[in-house]
Amino acid sequence: MKLSDVDILAAMREGRSKIDPAPAETAINGASVDLRLGPKFRVFSMHTGSHIDLGTSRADIAAAINRTMSDEITIGPDEVFYLHPGELVLGATMERVELAPDSCGTINGRSRLARLGLTVHTTAHFVAPGWRGELVLEFFNCGRLPLGLRPGMAVCAIAFEPLSSPAVRHYGARDDAKYVGQSGATGSRIARERS
């Protein structure tokens, strides 16, 4: 059962769910909170590698990712990042989100942007209990025209769900949590996974 706007506000007042900076009242909808696009991106370069073989060792995968992924790109508040058709780019929310061990979240794209071809998460829409950090978004343009992304625009929404009981092995308590506390457009940390 997803939290309503009343329960989202109560959870934020009680500190069970945190969003920093705090959202404007107009960003809190019936069952979600709008999140804004931050200024940081990472792009994949087709000319620096021919492929990433997901069946090889983690070290080989990490090396291929390092060859093909750019350093973090930061654009100014008045600049535009153009996402071209068929392109995958990592971005991050402007807001930092923290969840208590007794709740989880789901990132949802904005309908008005999806109708133009923008996907904000390719598969990673789940926000684990105990999560804390900025949310990385996997932008994909499945349309036919380039799409301009601007820092500060409402780009996705997060919905919250209570768990039946607090998680013991929540994300913030795990020693293998690769992305806890992340800031900016963090790339894949597959090399840090346990065998």
Catalytic residue positions? Answer: 138
Q: Taking the chain, what is the end-to-end CA distance rounded to the nearest angstrom? A: 35
CB atoms within 10 A of CB 52: 18
Q: Is 112 helix (H, G, I), strand (E, B) or coil?
A: helix
How many whole angstroms separate alpha carbon 168 and alpha carbon 130? 10
Amino acid identity of 23? Answer: P
Q: Where are the alpha helices (DSSP H) in the chain?
A: 5-14, 58-68, 111-114
Helices vs. strands in the chain: H and E counts, helices first: 3, 11
Non-local (6+) Cβ contacts of 99 within 8 A are: 16, 17, 105, 127, 128, 129, 130, 131, 132, 160
| Residue 185 backbone zone (phi > 0: left; psi -120 to 50: alpha; other: beta) | beta
Quote the DSSP letter at residue 25. Answer: G
